[in-house]
């Protein structure tokens, strides 16, 4: 059943309308990517799931239950959360950061640490780094730790707010690959916020493109969106007119070579 946004809206106390009448269902084991320009309400929407933001209209349901019926703290502990860069606890060693939620929910510290070390290895961090403090890791390593931390309590749901926004493109690519691999093994229900459309297309099974005010410009699978951008805003946002999106094939010695809009080769059609 997954997560259902049922006609949710959010107007902040200062009158800012962040989201209006948003409806969407994220099936279990699927990844929803929320993309949009800055201030389009992505974070607001994502935070409704773990009740960091309470919607002013409508409701959010997890497996059919309104999150408002659930205890806030218990709900949050049951949901993995990957904040933007800077969300690790600076005063806790890396291993203790990862063990945070299991320890909060009563797992003995020793057992939680052992599990945390195993998780670090799983996200590609040398367990020996577990003794360090977050400031002693690179940005990319910190984000891996954040992912490990979100997975530690074995949640069914993961919320990720621009998890790889603060690292350089090559590192980001590596982190995305890692997430795809983990997701293939673990099958979490993921809500991912990003303003990088390529990241949304790579990671999202379903993509929602938002415009200011939390208004949906288009919803669909990456393929559907690329195939038929709903309007000029979407075309523009996904860069439909960019050279690397406008691919065509040319025949070279009997093989179909794919070239981009500038005629540069991208690959070969199998």
Ligand X SMILES: Nc1ncnc2c1ncn2[C@@H]1O[C@H](COP(=O)(O)OP(=O)(O)OP(=O)(O)O)[C@@H](O)[C@H]1O
* Under 8 Å between Cβ of 93 and 133: yes
Query: Of ligand X, other proteins, Mg ion, none, which one does residue 165 interact with (CB within 5 to 8 Å by kind)?
Result: none
SS3 55: coil
Query: Of other proteins, ligand X, Mg ion, none, which one does residue 14 interact with (CB within 5 to 8 Å by kind)?
Result: ligand X
Region from 34-42, 68-76, 86-94, 256-264 binding ligand X, contact rule CB under 6 A: 34-42
245 DSSP assignment: G
Round to whole Å and give the CA distance between 128 and 56.
46
State the burial class of residue 142 (Cβ atoms within 10 Å of its Cβ: 0-12, 13-18, 19+). buried
Does the protein bind ligand X through residue 12 (CB under 6 A)? yes
Region from 79-87, 115-123, 227-235, 251-259 binding other proteins, contact rule CB under 8 A: 79-87
Query: Looking at 17, 24, 137, 186, which residue binds other proteins (CB under 8 A)?
Result: 137
Binders of Mg ion in range 225-264 (CB under 5 A):
none
**Which residue spans within the chain are E strands per DSSP?**
3-11, 17-26, 31-36, 57-62, 65-66, 79-82, 157-161, 189-194, 206-211, 215-220, 248-252, 255-259, 265-268
Region from 31-39, 56-64, 72-80, 181-189 binding ligand X, contact rule CB under 6 A: 31-39
Size of the site for ligand X (CB under 6 A): 13
83 DSSP assignment: P
Region from 14-22, 97-105, 199-207, 256-264 binding ligand X, contact rule CB under 6 A: 14-22
Region from 33-41, 100-108, 213-221, 233-241 binding other proteins, contact rule CB under 8 A: 100-108
Does the protein bind ligand X through residue 11 (CB under 6 A)? no
Of the two residues 75 and 192, which places its CB atom closer to Mg ion in the complex? 192
Round to whole Å and give the CA distance between 60 and 71.
14
- Give the closest residue to 4 by CA, choosing from 52, 54, 66, 47: 66
128 DSSP assignment: G
Quote the tokens at residue 87.
């969300």
What DSSP string describes 176-238? HHHHHHHHHHH--EEEEEES-HHHHHHH-SEEEEEETTTEEEEEE-HHHHHHS--SHHHHHHH
Does the protein bind other proteins through residue 88 (CB under 8 A)? yes
Does the protein bind ligand X through residue 40 (CB under 6 A)? yes
Query: Of Mg ion, other proteins, ligand X, none, which one does residue 28 interact with (CB within 5 to 8 Å by kind)?
Result: none
What are the CA-CA distances from residue 75 to residues 79, 80, 146, 189 (Å)? Answer: 7, 10, 19, 15
Query: Looking at 20, 40, 43, 50, which residue binds Mg ion (CB under 5 A)?
Result: 43
Does the protein bind other proteins through residue 83 (CB under 8 A)? yes
Binding site for Mg ion (CB under 5 A): 43
Binding site for ligand X (CB under 6 A): 12, 14, 16, 18, 36, 38-44, 195
Binding site for other proteins (CB under 8 A): 47, 50, 52, 73-78, 81, 83-84, 86-92, 100-101, 104-105, 132-133, 135-139, 141, 149, 159
């Amino acid at each position: 059943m997954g997560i259902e946004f049922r006609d949710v809206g959010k107007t902040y106390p200062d009158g800012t309308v962040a989201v209006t009448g948003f409806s969407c269902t994220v099936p279990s084991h699927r990844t929803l990517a929320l993309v949009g320009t800055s201030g389009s309400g992505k974070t607001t929407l994502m935070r409704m799931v773990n009740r960091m933001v309470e919607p002013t209209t409508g409701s959010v349901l997890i497996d059919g239950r309104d999150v408002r019926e659930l205890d806030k703290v218990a709900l949050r502990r049951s949901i993995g959360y990957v904040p933007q860069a800077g969300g690790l606890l600076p005063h806790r060693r890396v291993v203790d950061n990862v063990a945070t939620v299991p320890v909060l929910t009563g797992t003995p510290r020793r057992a939680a640490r052992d599990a945390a070390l195993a998780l670090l290895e799983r996200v590609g961090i040398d367990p020996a780094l577990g003794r360090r403090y977050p400031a002693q890791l690179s940005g990319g390593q910190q984000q891996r730790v954040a992912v490990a931390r979100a997975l530690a309590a074995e949640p069914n749901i993961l919320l990720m707010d621009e998890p790889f926004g603060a690292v350089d493109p090559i590192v980001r690519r590596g982190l995305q690959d890692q997430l795809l691999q983990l997701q293939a093994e673990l099958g979490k229900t993921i809500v991912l916020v990003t303003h990088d459309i390529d990241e949304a297309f790579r990671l999202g099974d379903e993509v929602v493109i938002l415009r200011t005010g939390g208004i949906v410009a288009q919803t669909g699978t990456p393929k559907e969106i690329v195939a038929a951008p709903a309007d000029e805003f979407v075309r523009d946002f996904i860069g439909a007119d960019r050279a690397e999106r406008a691919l065509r094939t040319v025949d070279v010695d009997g093989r179909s070579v794919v070239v981009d809009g500038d005629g540069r080769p991208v690959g070969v059609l199998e």
